[in-house]
Amino acid sequence: MIEGLQNFRDTGGTPLTGGGSTRSGVLYRSEALTALTPAGLSALASTDIGVIADFRTSAERGMAADRLPDTRAFRIVELPLLEGALTGAAQQAAAAPDPAAASAAIAAALAQLPGLGDLYVSMLGQGAASFAELARLVAAATDDPPTAVLVHCTAGKDRTGVAIALLLDAVGADRAAVVADYSSSAANLAGPWADRMRAMVTAMGVPLTPTVDELLTGTPAEAIEQALAWTDERGGAASYLQSGGLTDDELDGLRARLAA
């Protein structure tokens, strides 16, 4: 664990359908790196992570910048995806100079949002190039640390969850294991983090309905299953990543890096 992060983990050890499991020390996932303690910064610096891929929008990053160790360099790659930015939008609204206007805007946005599964399908429809670029970063890494990739958004559950599911599925990970990894984020974020998100939204006068609560803090299995079913209908996760620009050689590299 990295002190200050609740949703950090290595995707290594995920079972593969052909036997074996994904490699450790290659691809990590987390929430935003905004709350790292001094011990957490030291721990991050000691990892094999060399690349940090950030799915947050510029507004999210400007409001809550990542905290990074100053003892060594990291390559930061920005891959902004607006879809799935609900938790970041809530934080931004809470800090806005006109809270009433921000609250009204968030309430209007929440009223129009679909369930998580539909939100993920919308994300997939818009984000193929960004997801392919993440796959390219992983494929291009070497065995000489620090070259492992850490991907995050704000909560590390939606944009990050879809991205990790895509990459694992594309290299032949067991589907049930992929779903289980996605689903574990809700338990990781339960407690102070989830309570803070709920408090931000209710302070804006937005009713905390079950749908809103799930959008903010949930990771139900059926949501990622719906997203993966959408890619299945279009040839699978690998084909989807190639639709975003991933080449055959890069796909082979991704499989070699993650599944060898």
pTM above 0.85, yes or no: yes
Do strands 27-30 and 9-10 pair parallel, antiparallel, or not at all (unpaired)?
A: antiparallel
DSSP label at residue 205: T
CB atoms within 10 A of CB 175: 16
Q: What is the CA radius of gyration of the chain?
A: 18
Per-residue pLDDT tens listing for the chain (260 residues): 899 999 999 999 999 999 999 999 999 999 999 999 999 999 999 999 999 999 999 988 988 999 999 999 999 999 999 876 665 555 555 555 666 666 666 666 666 677 899 999 999 999 999 999 999 999 998 878 899 999 999 999 999 999 999 999 999 999 999 999 999 999 999 999 999 989 988 887 778 888 889 988 999 999 999 999 999 999 999 999 999 999 999 999 999 999 97
Q: What is the pLDDT of residue 84?
A: 64
Structural domains present in the chain: 9-253 (3.90.190.10)
Q: Which amino acid appears at position 40 of this protein? A: G
Q: What is the pLDDT of residue 259?
A: 95
The label of the residue with tokens 């990459």 reads: 167
Q: What is the pLDDT of residue 141?
A: 87
Do strands 75-78 and 148-152 pair parallel, antiparallel, or not at all (unpaired)?
A: unpaired
The label of the residue with tokens 């995920």 reads: 14
Q: What is the pLDDT of residue 19?
A: 96
Q: Give the distance from CA 190 to its chain's centroid.
A: 17
Query: Which residues have C-beta within 8 Å of that of residue 137, sequence separation ≥ 6?
Result: 51, 53, 77, 149
Q: What is the pLDDT of residue 200?
A: 82
